[in-house]
Structure 1
Amino acid sequence: MAAANAVANAAVELRKGISGLDKVVLREPSGCSAEVYLYGGQVTSWKNIYGEELLFVSSKATFKPPKAIRGGIPICFPQFGSHGALELHGFAKNRFWSIDTNPPPLPANSVTKTFVDLILKPSDKDLKIWPHSYEFRLRVALAPGGALILTSRIRNINTDGKPFSFTFAYQTYFSVSDISEVRVEGLETLDYLDNLKDRERFTEQGDAITFESEVEKIYLSTPIKIAILDHQKKRTFVLLKEGLPDAVVWNPWDKKAKALVDFGSDEYKHMLCVEAAAIEKLITLKPGQEWKGMQELTVVPSSYCSGQLDPEKVLQV
């Protein structure tokens, strides 16, 4: 009942989703919407005012715990990658989150009124594989203009005086027309770690990133704005981030797509992950300390040719 009361307004509704899992539906008066599953604290839908889906979710995605949902915006915490006893990309993406009934207040000047606050705390099972007490608060908000904003706050509440360290990523699956028609700008000339080559370090060449084979790169010390241009759909996603210095770019391409049981063999053509992340340098919190990381996604019409996009100007459209 408390959860239902926490979202009891016309713009924010608690409903049953696929496989009977609870989800929160956010609707802006302009017509844009978003859906957030309590399982994983995961955004699985973000639609513009025309009802067009902007995020990719695989047609073979499993909405059945303990399998994570393939697509949308999985949250990678307390690690990105695979290390030690923790599962790939951590456990936050396949745990049940709760509606936060005591969330932090909105900034005094905020015009965003359509949002939901979620919270994740460690279970006994989690404490056995990652022995740290924490509170992970997540706010998912829709701005009046249709922007999707995710704000994460992670606090160390250990009572033994011990700090803990973690890495983090918003693994955002963007829906694109055709991966061969997509380019990413804002990461050119930067150093990156290539996960396909044991995280060997390279420097990106060329004016922008385009795609013709599998890619899994971790870009380092990235700008706060990254643009994803979809020429065929004539639209540009703009990713604005804070507290997340790195960025991951991933597409499995054909061979790896066929090996993923929860991913359609041809679906790699219609998705691209660009992830705001903190990976290269561990985030360390002492007891009582809190970390905050935010990403804001907007989409604007565009018909830019090679090299003509300035992400600074896109945000002013």
Structure 2
Amino acid sequence: MANSITLDWSENCSATIHLYGATVTSWINNGKEQLFLSSKSKMDGSKAIRGGIPLVFPNFGPWEHGPQHGFARISWWKIIEQPTKMSNGDVTTVLQLTDDDKTRNMWNHQFLLTYKVTLGENNLTTKLEVTNTGSEQFDFTVLLHTYFRVSDINSCKVSGFLGCNYSDKVEGTDNVSEASKEIVIDRNIDRVYRLAGQPDGHLISTPETKLMLTKINLPDTVLWNPWTEKAAAMSDFDDLGYLNMVCVESGYVSQRKILHAGETLTCSQNITVL
């Protein structure tokens, strides 16, 4: 059985989803790759895929009950809807993950994750539904950990953060107000911005490409680049990979989301090539 599926819009437009973590590993638009995937990334299910769009659930960051960033990105998902061409020409597929003995040993809750990936001529939409299928409430954090490919990080600018408060994991500070309309990445950055990109989204801009990231029910945005030392310290990351990527990550992470029995959270992000 194949470990990945591909959505084909045209010869020059496609998206590939690995069933391990339901990770979108490639998005080619007009013949150009838009997502960063480390050449050292493990693709055999032995470790979370380094790059693309990993899906973080039920916990963002270190987790006392299990691995960092939870288990969704290191679980094998099932295809419940094969790639299908819609009436408007877009191509879509649906994957699911539900609780089992392995997840319940870490996190004793019943859930259903339904992930719909849709490829258009100039856009990619990832929509996640989190359903509490049990009889008791649970809380969680969730994140679409998107790695954008850039030709040169030194010429990349990211906007949509002006006036937002953020916590800075590198500096160890919190409730800092962003004063820059456009952020230039020139060092190790690891920040969680609250209510960021509302309502206009984030523009990831390079001399060659402009991408607009918009979100629904994902109020926070993580901005990350490991820079020199941290890139070199990661075994599955290219030493110079930080020069060709920036993570702009849509999430519900600054506080935990509570879902009562039978409730569903629907959230999504859309990336458009301008």
Does TM-score exceed 0.5, indicating one fold?
A: yes
Identify the structure with the greater strand proportion.
Answer: 2
Tell me by how many angstroms 1:123 deviates. Answer: 2.1
Distance 1:213 1:23 in 2: 34
Answer yes or no: is the 8 Å Cα contact 1:226–1:238 preserved in 2: yes
Partner in structure 2 of residue 8 of structure 1: none
Alignment of 1:187-206 (within 5 A): 187-198=161-172, 200-206=174-180
* Cα deviation digits, residues 142-169 of structure 1 (max 9, x gap): 12x22100000010011xx310011011
Partner in structure 1 of residue 14 of structure 2: 33
Answer yes or no: is the 8 Å Cα contact 1:188–1:209 preserved in 2: no
Aligned structure 1 segments of 4 or more residues deviating by more than 2 angstroms: 109-113, 197-201
Q: RCO higher in 1 or 2 (8 Å CA, sep ≥ 6)?
A: 2
* Cα deviation digits, residues 94-123 of structure 1 (max 9, x gap): 100001259xxxxxx973641110000122
Tell me by how many angstroms 1:283 deviates. Answer: 1.0
Unpaired stretches in structure 2, ≥5 consecutive residues: none
Answer yes or no: is the 8 Å Cα contact 1:170–1:276 preserved in 2: yes
Distance 1:146 1:26 in 2: 13
Partner in structure 1 of residue 215 of structure 2: 241
2:93 partner letter: V
Which has the greater radius of gyration? 1
Answer yes or no: is the 8 Å Cα contact 1:28–1:146 preserved in 2: no
Count of residue pairs brought into register by the alignment? 270
Alignment of 1:1-317 (within 5 A): 16=2, 22-29=3-10, 31-49=12-30, 51-100=31-80, 111=88, 113-143=90-120, 145-158=121-134, 161-198=135-172, 200-222=174-196, 223-224=198-199, 225-231=201-207, 233=208, 235-300=209-274
Distance 2:10 2:24 in 1: 19
Distance 1:203 1:110 in 2: 44
Q: Which deviates more, 190-199 or 149-158?
A: 190-199
TM-score (norm. length: structure 2): 0.94
Answer yes or no: is the 8 Å Cα contact 1:188–1:205 preserved in 2: yes
Secondary structure of 2:182's partner? coil
Distance 1:192 1:277 in 2: 13
2:47 partner letter: K
Answer yes or no: is the 8 Å Cα contact 1:216–1:249 preserved in 2: yes
